[in-house]
C-alpha cells in the first residue's frame, strides 16, 4: 500500500479467543494489501497519526469477512 502503514493495531474483541484475535489481525494486514490509495480522511495523513474505528461483528461473521469490512471502513474515511 503506497504511503500508508500501520505500526500498531489495537483490537478490543469481546468473545474472541487469542487465536482468533491474531487471525483477525493477520487478515486485516492481508486485506490492506488490496487497498491501492491512502484514505483521504487519515488525520493529517502524516506519520504518527491516530485513528479510532469502532465496528461490531455480525452474528456468525467469519474472521476474514470482518477483516475486509474493517479495511473497507478504514479506506472509506474521508
Note whether 11 and 25 are within 8 A (CB): yes
In this prediction, residues 18-31 reach a mean pLDDT of 91
Nearest one of 62, 66, 75, 64 to 34, comparing CA atoms: 75
The pLDDT of residue 53: 82
The cell numbers describing 69, all together, are 469490512
The pLDDT of residue 1: 40
Nearest one of 71, 52, 54, 75 to 63, comparing CA atoms: 71
The percentage of the chain sitting over the pLDDT mark of 90, rounded to a whole number, equals: 26
The residue ranges of every structural domain in the chain are 18-75
pLDDT classification of 43: cutoffs 50, 70, 90: low
| 0.85 exceeded by pTM | no
Note whether 40 and 74 are within 8 A (CB): no
Amino acid at each position: 500500500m503506497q504511503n500508508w502503514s500501520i505500526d500498531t493495531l489495537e483490537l478490543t474483541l469481546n468473545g474472541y479467543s487469542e487465536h482468533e484475535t491474531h487471525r483477525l489481525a493477520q487478515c486485516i494486514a492481508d486485506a490492506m494489501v488490496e487497498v491501492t490509495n491512502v484514505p483521504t480522511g487519515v488525520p493529517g495523513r502524516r506519520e504518527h497519526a491516530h485513528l479510532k474505528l469502532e465496528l461490531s461483528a455480525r452474528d456468525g461473521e467469519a474472521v476474514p469477512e470482518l477483516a475486509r469490512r474493517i479495511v473497507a471502513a478504514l479506506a472509506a474515511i474521508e
